[in-house]
Structure 1
Amino acid sequence: MPTLSDVAKEANVSKMTVSRVINHPNQVTPELRKIVLEAMHRLNYHPNSAASALASNRTNVVKFVILEDIDTTEPYYMNLLFGIAQGLQKQQFALQLVRDAADVDKGNCDGYIITGARATDSDWLDKLKKPFVLFGENRYGYDFIDTDNKLGDQLATQYAIDRNYQSIIFMGIDEKEPFEYSREAGYINTLQKYKKIPRIFRVANHSRKAQDFITNNWKKFAPDTCFICASDRIAVGVVRAIQEKGGKIPKDFGVIGFDGVFLDQVSNPKLTTIKQPIFELGQSLATMILQKVAQNGAAQGELLMPPELIKRESTR
């Protein structure tokens, strides 16, 4: 098995430099880091992650804290988890799942990836002693990664306009959170370009709630209407209600969802949707938290990743 000394000799650098590349890459220039990493690759050298963690006073563990309900029928979080795990594995970090905010401080770790945080969570987030990044937009200055929610519903609304639907309605999630505001903004801004009047309704993020709302308000929705939905769950409920009322999809009514993970494909008809790059978001979250840990908690800023419009059977 090759040793640290072998890598140092191969790269023509000191053992201390090799150690810094492994344990403190931010302290080494990119050029020097590349030389050492290439030498490690040529020799098939893999550092002892346990020893490295001990030497740097780290655990090589990142906690993934989920602060919202997980719908077991929808593999949204499974895709996100796989992305995070793969990103962490590249640096030989382990992932620990936490489902209750009260358990965040139980056991040691090097940092946190947190999803489902709301405005009311800012107090305890400020008290965390380890670096963290959020999955989801926020307006409090915390580092975060998210889908470009505004762009997503700009794409959806523009597509509905291009399909010549005369009335375009936004079915939002009944939560006062940044991601929802951004999705609404994408819808409103696009309509305003065409001097169309926005119509916005909000329901809980459950298909049954959306279905009941459309059913109970059916007379308000004339044919030639497209519903821009803030989630695929809401979109599925809208589709069911239209079908129950005898509406024709996609001729008279169009439905566009948001997420593109699972429900869009099992819906009948299959949903046109805004697909989030969930796996890639997970990988990027892992990269950001590892950078923040390596840089002793230095701010990383924000990253918005572009979604994709997937055209299917629920729009004409």
Structure 2
Amino acid sequence: MVTLSDVAKQANVSKMTVSRVINHPEQVTAELRQLVEAAMATLDYQPNAAAKALANNRTNVIKLVILEDIDTTEPYYMSLLFGIAKGLDKCGYALQLVTERERLGKGNAADGFIVTGARAADLPLIDALAKPTVIFGENHNGYDFIDTDNKAGTAMATEYALAKNYQSLVFLGIDVKEAFEYSREAGYINTLQQHKKLPQIHRMSNHSHQSQQFINAHWAEFARDTCFICASDRLAIGVVRAIMQNGGTIPRDFGVIGFDGVFLDQVSNPKLTTVKQPVQRLGELLARMLLQKVAQSGAQQGELLVDPELIARDTTRK
């Protein structure tokens, strides 16, 4: 096994210099750092992650805090978890999942937190976190965050529906007063205004049976050539069921566009046109941003909005 002494001998420097390059690279010159790193590469030396963490007074543990109720089979969170874990693993960090608020301050310490599912009522809890924190999801409260560009996503969906000659565009939103929902509605509203069309917005809880019941209750109000632009794939699936239940024809007479693009869009019959979020990539970016914030002693990182992609399938005209 290659040791620290072997690297020092190869680079013709002291063991202390090698240790500084590994644990405190900012304390050595670029020339010295390159010399030691070249020696490490030549000998295929892998620094001990636990020893490095100890030297930096860190745990090499990141906590993912989920502040909303989720089903254990929720595919969205499975993709997010995999992306975060992948990003952390590249840097020798472990991921610890926290789903209960009362457990947040208990157990092993952590070097930082990734928080998702936060609502306005959770702000005091987030403010109380003593370590670097990054939020998954748009917010207007000054926290560092990463999210899909929600506004661009629904604007894209609305433009697509108009291009397919649907005459009436109805938006089904999620009944929450949160930034991501406001952005999704704004993308729809702004696009319709540009085309001199009036918006029609209806909000409900994010469950397919809610959107299905809504369409059934108002079926007579929806003429042919209507496209339903939904704030989630769950809502979109309920709309598809209701249209088919009432004898409507998809996509000739009615169109449906979802938002998320994680599993549910593919199991829908017919397969759902959706605005696909790059959830796994978002997870990796969250890990990268947080580890950079940890390395920079909690320095502000800002915000990052990632472009989604429209996936055209069988619930809209070709």
> What is the TM-score of this pair, normalised by structure 2?
0.94
Q: Which residue of 1 aligns with 2:92?
A: 92
Correspondence list, 1:104-253, <5 A: 104-107=104-107, 108-253=109-254
Relative to structure 1, is the Cα distance of residues 122 and 215 closer, same or farther in structure 2, using a 3 angstrom cutoff?
A: same
1:52 paired to 2:52:
yes
Q: Distance in 1 between matches of 2:254 and 2:31?
A: 57
Q: Distance in 2 between matches of 1:96 and 1:156?
A: 36
List alignment gaps of at least 5 residues for structure 2: none
Q: Distance in 1 between matches of 2:313 and 2:267?
A: 12
> Does structure 2 conserve the Cα–Cα contact (< 8 Å) formed by 1:64 and 1:95?
yes
Correspondence list, 1:2-41, <5 A: 2-8=2-8, 10=10, 15-24=15-24, 36-37=36-37, 39-41=39-41
Deviation per CA, 1:1-40: give whole Å up to 9, x if none: 2223444455566645543443345666778766655543
Correspondence list, 1:66-85, <5 A: 66-85=66-85
> What is the TM-score of this pair, normalised by structure 1?
0.94
Q: CA deviation at 1:42?
A: 3.4
Q: Distance in 1 between matches of 2:14 and 2:202?
A: 64
Q: CA deviation at 1:295?
A: 1.1
How many residue pairs match? The answer is 316
Q: CA deviation at 1:101?
A: 1.6
> Does structure 2 conserve the Cα–Cα contact (< 8 Å) formed by 1:24 and 1:294?
no
Q: Which residue of 2 aligns with 1:292?
A: 293
Deviation per CA, 1:215-271: give whole Å up to 9, x if none: 111122111000110000000001001110111000010000000010000000000
Q: CA deviation at 1:290?
A: 0.7
Could you say what the CA RMSD is over the residues aligned between the two structures, in angstroms?
1.9
Q: SS where residue 215 of structure 2 aligns?
A: helix
> Does structure 2 conserve the Cα–Cα contact (< 8 Å) formed by 1:25 and 1:294?
no
> Does structure 2 conserve the Cα–Cα contact (< 8 Å) formed by 1:59 and 1:109?
yes
State the one-letter code of the partner of 2:149: D
State the one-letter code of the partner of 2:88: L
Identity %: 69
